[in-house]
Structure 1
Amino acid sequence: MYDGNVQYFTSGHVPRFVFAAIILISGILFTVVLFFGQWLPLCSKWKLMKWTKNTYYNGFMDAYHAPFTPKHRYWVGLLLLTLITHNLITALALDNSLPVLSAGVLSVGLISWKLLNNRLYKNKFRDSLETLYLLNIVCLAFGTSYVKDSRKDQSALANTSMTISFIIFAITLSYHFYQFVLKKTNTWLKIEDIVRNLGVDVADRRANNGREMYQPVVNANDDDELLEVVDDYEQRDALNPPYTDGAMEEADPDRYITPPIIRPATRPDQLRLSYMDELAPLTTEDYRPAPPPTRVNHRPAVTCTEIGPIHNKV
């Protein structure tokens, strides 16, 4: 609150003035850097702007520029400038209606700028979420102006606006808590495994519910033929009992018609041939190309050289 009895640069005012000056200067520099952050590297050729190539500076700016498209990385700085403008109007205005109109007009301007420039955020959901916040401010501002002119109660409008903002904030906070905290815990991983196993069990049950999945589609005239086939299988099994060493499934005509049982070609007591047990796995040597044929040199080899006597004839 303003107090005209406190004089400037007295013992009680100097610390307040120093801290206020530090906050004001740092806030202005921070806002300017965020607003012009995407254009400052273009001036790195100047000696005074070489600090824009520093890795620490680039890492600091990436934290604010990462959610936005390369063309609209000024958006955080623009939001801060809008907030500073609204605070100045609120501090200097003599009437209470002017700050309310300022909030509504500035919010409408931001929404219009977003609509004219397509998408500012890389993620559509974040862009829509911020637009919803701005629309909430617009409705609250102009609704408050209407209620004030009509001399009605503003509590219902304010409570509705605050409830919408709180619900959106709670959803955002819950999403970030799940994404960056809960999703990485061992308890949540165990819960995901249990849910995944339940889904697999349900799928297996549906696949094994054979009356509807395994019931053959036949005509009414084919019933006699199917019964004859079943009788033939039963008579053959009675004459030649199947081997009980392997895993076999008995036919159940009441449930569904099973395919014929495939018996092995050899008896369990019959020995296998020796060549059937010799394994010859493929190796990398089998894929190498054949070596080129050796060249045969048909030229006669020189074994020795004879040098005869030299005769000088006059």
Structure 2
Amino acid sequence: MGASGTPDPARRRLLRTMALAGACVAMPNLRASAPGGIDVIGAPSNLGLRPLRPGHVPGAFRAPAALRAHRLVDRLGARDRGDVAAPAYDPSPDPVTGYRNGAGLAAYTPRLAERIGASLDEGRFVLVLGGDCSVLLGGALALRRRGRHGLLFIDGHSDFYFPHVARPLTAAGMDLALATGHGPDALVGVDGNTPYFAETDTVVYAYRDHGTPDEVDTARFERAAFLHLPIERVRADGVAATMGEALRRLERSELGGFWIHVDVDVLDPAVMPAVDSPDPGGLRLAELEDALAFALASPRALGLELTIFDPDLDADGRLAERLVGLLERAFARAGRFGLAQSIQGVHR
């Protein structure tokens, strides 16, 4: 970034080039080329998380309200479509699905998909405020009902953790697996739609953990047909080059567009400690902003969900403001949403 916090001229040229390149690709299904505005939908769910201690209720469900309190809707010039209320948190294992809160998640996913789908059908760009990572399934199902789409999965973890020893599973640690068809029918095949995203249509970006072989089947993730772009590749080749590679996968003409998943634990805990798994070595705030600006500049990007932020770990609201500022700058820099592109702020 430039010293003022605004993108330097070289980066602005790269953004324009990528946006123009994406605009030349045919879009067979949803109206992705000219968003009719941004719809914000709250998904105040913690159904995918395990309690950290007996009686603990993870605070991620409070994130939509916390982010709205920092005027996110107004700052994006968005329309607020309200929250899709989640079932009560019950972390006991569900005997049918094998997942904690499995029955609740099976009921919640199609309701969230209905709200998202209504906005998509109006040609609106959808911003979903989670909640935990399991809310990915709502956007995934909404898109699958409307054809074949891609997934840009930006996360500090693979969320593809198949344990060697049977144990109760949590959807926030398996959301990528579930979204790509690996799991019980009640979660991965609503209305017979499975997989929601094909592995070949999925990019896993900037992850720094995919488990250890003594605990989970790491080879299963490594041999999956995803485009794997771990944080080491992002750092070695740069955000512009790796996002260019990602968009070549996601902007293929046979896809009707793509969805963006962002788990804020992709950020280094030095800048975003309010997550349930604050592992060191994550992206800097400026790197995530750059990646999102590139992705949002694509006319094929249909929606984005933000997950795992826990306001219980943000007593003064400073981290919520950091996330809202990040989104505001990334959407403005994308150049598709009618927002001023001179927004400045602290990136690190």
Q: What is the TM-score when the length of structure 1 is the normalising length?
A: 0.24
| Greater share of helix | 1
Larger radius of gyration: 1
Q: What is the TM-score when the length of structure 2 is the normalising length?
A: 0.22
| Greater share of strand | 2
